[in-house]
Structure 1
């Protein structure tokens, strides 16, 4: 089960690394992310910038947290359980909030658009809800496996295979829009408010 935990943590690390980098690589990208939150129902305009900063900071924290969890899990340190539990709890809360925002945007047909790691902006839709739901399921599964597995050192070869498997699955999720457009191209839609950089 430790290999499963490691693979799931590796997948989450890759997702949040890509997501946070898309927000911090330039001031314009951070402003674009904040602007992407404006069409969301129930979010007052005065809270847009603070929420954008909170999400960005939390994602950066999760990059560090999941990375450290992978290290202590591979080393078999006793801290693997509490560290992993804390990181995954924060991950669950963040993903729940983001998924709720996407569901509200889709339900209210706000016209918000999201690049969501893809090459071109896409209207927020149920594919993005599905992706976030998968990430939530991965977070829960990781939490369960971390809780029920007694920490013990993992052989390097097995750990590397688990990390590679996690990164491969994360790459599919990160490039979901591109894959869907490749196999199920959709007609061009009228431009809407930009909603970039949200997982």
Structure 2
């Protein structure tokens, strides 16, 4: 059981790390992308005068998370910080939805899709991944499993997860297009 938990922990670390790397890089790829994220941060509750410091702090934390995921024991600090960030993002999105804000999340770069329930669900799923990783570390899972095949499977599963997370808006649009409309 120890090795299987080690591979699960590794997959959690790869997935959380990959998501936060893509998120940080997408916000830093140009001035327009960062300004769009600043606007989204303001729309989700950051005061106007603090929107730039908030945006900078978010990007700095997103960049720090993958680095912390390689720090023993088992990347616990990275998983915990990732989980904390996901809680903050989820609450901000839920509040924006409650206030009927129509901003995009700008989570992974430019997006015209407004924040929706799919973003909250995505973040809750990622929070579950981070929580699973924390539980695995606290449960004594091995940090670095030894079988190359298991490591490859964990990495592939995490890659698929990262791609699904990044494609949240597109997947939501596809599924929404196939939901039958009920007539009144």
TM-score, normalising length from structure 1?
0.80
Aligned residues: 173
Residue in 2 that maps onto 1:3: 7
Residue in 2 that maps onto 1:21: 25
Tell me which of 62, 80, 92 is aligned to 1:101.
Answer: 92
Residue in 2 that maps onto 1:137: 128
Q: More displaced, 109-118 or 129-138?
A: 109-118
Residue in 2 that maps onto 1:172: 164
The 5 Å alignment of 1:15-54 reads 15-41=19-45, 43-54=46-57
Supply the distance in 2 between the matched residues of 1:62 and 1:122 (Cα, whole angstroms): 26
More RCO (CA 8 Å, sep 6+): 1
Supply the distance in 1 between the matched residues of 2:31 and 2:111 (Cα, whole angstroms): 20
Per-residue CA distance 1:91-136 (angstroms, 9 max, x = gap): 1111111111100000000221235448842111111110011111
Stretches of structure 1 that go unaligned for 5 or more consecutive residues are 70-78, 187-199
Cα RMSD (Å): 2.0
* Secondary structure at the counterpart of residue 100 of structure 2: coil
Residue in 2 that maps onto 1:76: none
Structure 2 CA distance for partners of 1:157 and 1:37, relative to 1, 3 Å: same
TM-score, normalising length from structure 2?
0.86
Residue in 2 that maps onto 1:183: 175
The 5 Å alignment of 1:82-161 reads 84-117=75-108, 120-151=111-142, 153-161=145-153
* Secondary structure at the counterpart of residue 44 of structure 2: coil
The 5 Å alignment of 1:54-69 reads 54-66=57-69, 68-69=70-71
- Decide whether the 8 Å contact of 2:86 with 2:126 is kept in 1: yes
Shift, 1:171, TM fit: 1.1
